[in-house]
Amino acid sequence: MSASIHPTAVVLNGAQLGANVTIGAYAYIGADVTLGDGCVVHHHATVDGYTQLGPQCEVFPYAFIGGRTQDLKARPGKPGLKVGARNTFREYVSVHLGTQEGEWTILGDDNTLLAYSHIAHDCVIGNHLVISSHSAVAGHVHVGDHVNIGWNAGIHQFCRIGDHAMVAACSKCVQDVPPFVIADGNPCETKMVNAVGLKRSGFTDDEIGVAKGLHRLFYRDGLNTAQAIEKAQALPEASSRIVRTFVAFAQGTKRGLA
């Protein structure tokens, strides 16, 4: 089936549309845009720039996907935005291109961006993110899989958020949030293990117990990060996916752990 395009929509020459694409009234599709099979761009939505949307993405009214970076270092060129499959961009969401030629903002699969949320330039977002309304992720942030960012949270540039972590509503995140935890506050601090989220994702009670032990080791035992990493690597569960993921994240921190 060919694309269904409303007569009032603007689709510039050069745009590549997959099968069964739907474009609503007064929507705008730029010349360098690629829409995968089954994408839906609702009325008054915009997809622009050197942007590639994977199959079955949905862009709601007044969202702006592929806008030019707000980074003042930007120069003329063709930075891009790569988006995987089945991503949902609700009303007034904005996602920006990379900053320089050859640089990309990247989103994986099955992410849900709620109204008014923002993903800035050069971010790398994993899969199954839920970012709530009015939250903003600054430039060069890396977000893992199955992350939940609460309402009105702000993530500072160059921070990282680990897999299965949750950043609570109204938090100001200025350091890395490790995997498997809940972080809250201004500035954001790690509070506890995200036990409910882990359970929903299929982790066993034993694995959740290991995550709680790591939280005590890194945050309750008075150790610095290097000391906690050394002790974690000596645990009987050191080869488990919980310990390996947490330790690798801690070893890679440049801003420190929240």
CATH of the domain at 203: 1.20.1180
Per-residue pLDDT tens over the stretch 71-122: 998 888 999 999 999 999 999 999 999 999 999 999 999 999 999 999 999 9
Catalytic site includes residue 122: yes
Catalytic site includes residue 139: yes
Given the residues 98, 108, 139, 162, the one annotated as active site: 139
Confidence of residue 1 (pLDDT cuts 50, 70, 90): low
Residues 133 and 206 both lie in one domain? no
Given the residues 96, 121, 142, 146, the one annotated as active site: 121
Return the closest-CA partner of residue 22 out of 52, 56, 54, 49.
56
Per-residue pLDDT tens over the stretch 5-21: 999 999 999 999 999 99
pLDDT at 204 over 70: yes
Residue type, 106: I
- Give the residue from 105, 140, 175 where a domain finishes: 140
Residues 126 and 235 both lie in one domain? no
Given the residues 71, 122, 145, 163, the one annotated as active site: 122
Confidence of residue 2 (pLDDT cuts 50, 70, 90): confident
Distance between CA 117 and CA 135 in Å, rounded? 5
Percent pLDDT > 90 in the chain is: 97
Per-residue pLDDT tens over the stretch 143-180: 999 999 999 999 999 999 999 999 999 999 999 999 99
Residues 133 and 22 both lie in one domain? yes
Number of domains in the chain: 2
The dihedral region occupied by 73, where left means phi > 0, alpha psi between -120 and 50, and beta the remainder, is alpha
Query: Containing domain of residue 119, as a range?
Result: 4-140
